[in-house]
């Protein structure tokens, strides 16, 4: 899996009541339904998935206000992309450390 996939899957887990495997599986299904692969997804493509596919996927799993959750995920994705562009490293650990101010 790509670091981008891991980053978004971890964010899904943190922002919802889904367990780790449920969050990853839900994201994989959304990517598959959109014709994308978790290994080669780009940030722009992931943004489209988060805006257009994930709200329905999360709602079908009982997540309240799925659209708001996806808006939050999209914001995190933009911060991830900006951090990668500014610092050249996309490891989740380095991105989270930068976002936390470390």
Q: Is the pLDDT of residue 60 over 70?
A: yes
**pLDDT value of position 95:** 61
Range of the domain at 9: 3-99
Number of independent structural domains in the chain: 1
Q: What is the mean pLDDT of residues 97-102?
A: 60
The reported pLDDT for the residue numbered 98 is 58
pTM strictly above 0.75:
yes
Residue 83: the pLDDT is: 77
Tell me, what's the pLDDT at 90?
52
The reported pLDDT for the residue numbered 102 is: 52
Token pair of 87, please? 């610092």
Query: For residues 45 and 27, is the Cβ–Cβ distance under 8 A?
Result: no
pLDDT tens per residue, range 5-52: 999 999 999 999 999 999 999 999 999 999 999 999 999 999 999 999
Candidates 9, 92, 75, 77; CA nearest to 42 is 77
């Amino acid at each position: 899996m790509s670091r981008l996939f891991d980053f978004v899957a971890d964010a899904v887990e943190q922002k919802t009541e889904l367990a780790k495997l449920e969050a990853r599986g839900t994201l994989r299904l959304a990517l598959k339904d959109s014709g994308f692969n978790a290994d080669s997804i780009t940030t722009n493509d992931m943004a489209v998935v988060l805006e257009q596919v994930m709200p329905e996927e999360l709602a079908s799993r009982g997540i309240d206000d799925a659209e708001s959750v996806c808006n939050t995920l999209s914001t995190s994705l933009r911060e991830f992309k900006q951090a990668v562009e500014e610092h050249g490293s996309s490891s989740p650990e380095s991105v989270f450390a930068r976002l936390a101010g470390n």
